[in-house]
Amino acid sequence: MRSADWFGGNTKDSYLHRAWMRRGNPDSTLTGKRPQIAILNTASDLAPCNMHLNEVAQSVKNGIWEAGGVPYNLPMVSLGESNVRPTAMLWRNMVAMAAEEMIRANPVDGVVLLGGCDKTIPALLMGASSVNLPAIVISGGPMLNGTFKGKLLGCGTGVWKFSEEVRAGKMSQEDFYNSEKSMIRSKGHCNTMGTASTMSSMAELLGMSLPGLAGVPAPDSRLLQGAHESGVRIVEMVEENLKPSDIMTKGAFHNAIVALGAIGGSTNAVVHLLAMAGRLGVDLSLDDFDRIGSHIPLLVNLQPAGEFLMEDLFRAGGLTAVMKEVERHLDRTAITVTGKPYVDSIQNAEIFDEIVIKKYDAPLQPEAGIAVLRGNIAPDGAVIKPAAASKELLVHTGKAVIFESIEDFHARIDDPNLDVDENSVLVLRGCGPKGYPGMPEVSNMALPKKLLEKGIVDLVRICDGRMSGTAFGTVVLHVSPEGALGGPLAKLQNGDVIELNVPARTLNVKISDAELAARTPSAAMVAALADSDRGWERLYIDHVEQSHLGADLDFLRGASGSKTPRE
């Protein structure tokens, strides 16, 4: 046991380590022979989606005790997506760094990762990957379905939809306010196929959760049962020395990307999976998402791409039933925390409602995975989620309407004199990892009021930021390099003709290479390279990588291992 370095033997140091940790535990817990397990717990009252994780942690503890381990609650920085400003993504890497350092610094042999709200699971997985001690993920699970006036109300997605309806004069302010009370019915994370649901599914497909646990609704007693069983399993994993690097192989990332297409998952998974792969030294690139996932059919009829919510998916058979349908695309060698191949876990899965989970041959959409675009606007790539886009806009040519920042956008989008029509392409820049530290979810720009009033519901939009997993629209995002670095995006001008061709995977401005090279970046973009003189933000701006690499900090790539350098 690694923890025997702290607790084994009978020296001055082991005396010191044991004495402080006794606190009523029996002698047998601190002999250096029983696995010491930290539960990295992102519970917080200010992260409402994770509020209930202390209850989950208790079930994990019970399982760890039962299996002969010794559990410790280890609170982690928690990120409440709906609360923290400017964006929770600014601190994903901070949580990952804290997780890595705290796992390594403490006398633990294995870790349980408790997350839910968007950034918490990827951050914990990044940190745990760099230390590479046995680890298992439990997602806090989605909240129950919300309804308003008899119709399903998905969190996130409903906000975007209703706010547009209010602006278009189709919904009253009173109904808008009242719907707010119906949206969040229970504990748990967002119930659409947003980033939280996506990342809990990714954790399971990466092999890091007990199969079948992702998507169990937060109030369902089977979540606590799964937490207990995960507590038992982590102790066994320590005894087997089954580590993240054994599980999160290229094959596991392949399976996660297949799942991303089949569930119509969030584009945020792209940056998170790339960042995790960077920690593990797995050779994963942006193009792998297109190569492996873009032809995968969308089988899950969940908002924002479809109609239903996570509770319905669970009732209809859950993630394992979805993956059984796409089994032909899965890597059969990739294993899970069980030590067995992932594909073994889906053999008995069944679909119980074919309206919610479609069969492979009758999908919601035939090709739904992330498409990766390149061209003179995005030489390092950009992504689009065709499942959330309007089919008729996937091939589109239109004139650019440029916004230099989200503030500029808010100030001008509803100006009656704004030169914009239904063919326009809205371009928002200055929102990349360095330009707006954290790369906020602003890419799904609201449409101009005057077009909404004409019944226009979608426009092509291009941005170097991210988009909420609960959002929809024909939105090209993660444009790399970002505008603040002075690349091509920074050189676009109002009226430039933009050509988007998703089937051909291209995104270009119709000017010559020579003219584009000769242009200087807009003055606003030159100024947009965010300037901060202290703290985490300074460190972040100096070291964050571009989105096509996962937006991790450059010095956090790779593994540090579990060895502590000094006593």
Let me know: does 435 contact 478? Beta carbons within 8 Å: no
The helix (H) or strand (E) run that includes residue 498 is strand 497-501
The one-letter code for the residue type at 465 is G
Give min distance, CB of 100 to ligand FES, in A: 23
User: Which backbone phi and psi does 227 adopt, to 5 degrees?
Assistant: -65, -45
Q: Segment 450-479, which members bind ligand FES (CB under 6 A)?
A: none
Total chain residues near ligand FES (CB under 6 A)? 9
Cβ-Cβ contacts under 8 Å for 408 (sequence gap 6 or more): 524
Residue 36 or 78: the one with the smaller Cβ distance to ligand FES is 78
Smallest distance from ligand FES to CB 198, Å: 10
Indicate which single residue of 194, 398, 465, 521 sits in contact with ligand FES (rule: CB under 6 A).
194
CA–CA separation, 427 and 450 (whole Å): 18
First to last CA, the chain: 16
- Mutual angle of helices 120-131 and 195-205, in 10-degree steps: 30
Shortest distance in whole angstroms from residue 180 CB to ligand FES: 14
Could you tell me the smallest distance in angstroms from the CB atom of residue 195 to ligand FES? 7
Contact (CB, 8 A) for 80 and 50: yes
Q: Report helix angle 268-280 to 195-205, nearest 10.
A: 40
Q: Which residues contact 11 (CB under 8 A, 6 or more apart)?
A: none
> Cβ–Cβ contacts within 10 Å for residue 348, how many?
9
3-state secondary structure labels for all residues of 310-348: HHHHHHCCHHHHHHHHCHHHCCCCCECCCCCEHHHHHCC
Between 189 and 272, CB nearer to ligand FES: 189
Calculate the CA dihedral of residues 181, 183, 189, 195 and round it to 10 degrees. -130
Report the residue number, 51 or 420, with the smaller CB distance to ligand FES: 51
Q: What share of the chain is helix, strand, coil (3-state, %, to 5)?
A: 40, 15, 45
Amino acid letter for position 354: E
For residue 171, CA distances in Å to 161, 179, 454, 470 come to 10, 11, 15, 20
Shortest distance (Å) from residue 56 CB to ligand FES: 15
In the complex with ligand FES, the residue whose CB is nearer, 216 or 460, is 216
- The candidate with the shortest Cα–Cα distance to 341, out of 353, 355, 351, 327, is 327
Q: How far apart are CA 567 and CA 565, in angstroms?
A: 7
What character string, x for contact with ligand FES (CB under 6 A) and - otherwise, covers 93-122?
------------------------xx----
Give the shortest CB-353-to-ligand FES separation in angstroms. Answer: 24
Q: How far is the CB of 192 from ligand FES (least distance, A)?
A: 8
Return the number of the residue (82 or 147) whose C-beta is nearest ligand FES: 82
19 three-state secondary structure: helix
Q: How many CB atoms lie within 10 A of CB 565?
A: 6
* In the complex, minimum distance from the CB of residue 41 to ligand FES, in angstroms, rounded to a whole number: 16
Least separation in angstroms between CB 118 and ligand FES: 5
Q: Quick one: angle between helices 268-280 and 92-105, nearest 10?
A: 30
Q: Is 82 in the site for ligand FES (CB under 6 A)?
A: yes
Stretch of residues binding ligand FES (CB under 6 A), selected from 188-196, 330-338, 366-374, 536-544: 188-196
For ligand FES, the binding residue among 18, 161, 189, 254 (CB under 6 A) is 189
Q: 499 by DSSP, 3-state: which?
A: strand
DSSP 292: I
Verify binding: residue 196, ligand FES, rule CB under 6 A. Answer: yes
Which of 190, 302, 337, 402 is in the footprint of ligand FES by CB under 6 A? 190
The stretch among 190-198, 265-273, 355-363, 436-444 that binds ligand FES (CB under 6 A) is 190-198
For position 252 contacting ligand FES by CB under 6 A, the verdict is no
Q: Which stretch binds ligand FES (CB under 6 A): 1-9, 18-26, 189-197, 250-258?
A: 189-197
441 is a site residue for ligand FES (CB under 6 A): no
Which is closer to ligand FES, CB of 117 or CB of 274? Answer: 117
Q: What's the closest the beta carbon of residue 205 comes to ligand FES, in angstroms? A: 19
Identity of the residue, 8 or 75, whose beta carbon is nearer to ligand FES in the bound complex: 75
Does the footprint of ligand FES cover residue 203 (CB under 6 A)? no
For the bound state, the minimum distance from the C-beta of residue 324 to ligand FES, rounded and expressed in Å, comes to: 26
Least separation in angstroms between CB 517 and ligand FES: 42
Closer by beta carbon to ligand FES, 139 or else 405: 139
Q: Which of residues 31-70 bind ligand FES (CB under 6 A)?
A: 49
Residue nearer to ligand FES on the CB measure, 90 or 427? 90
Query: Which residues of this protein are in contact with ligand FES, per CB under 6 A?
Result: 49, 81-82, 117-118, 189-190, 194, 196
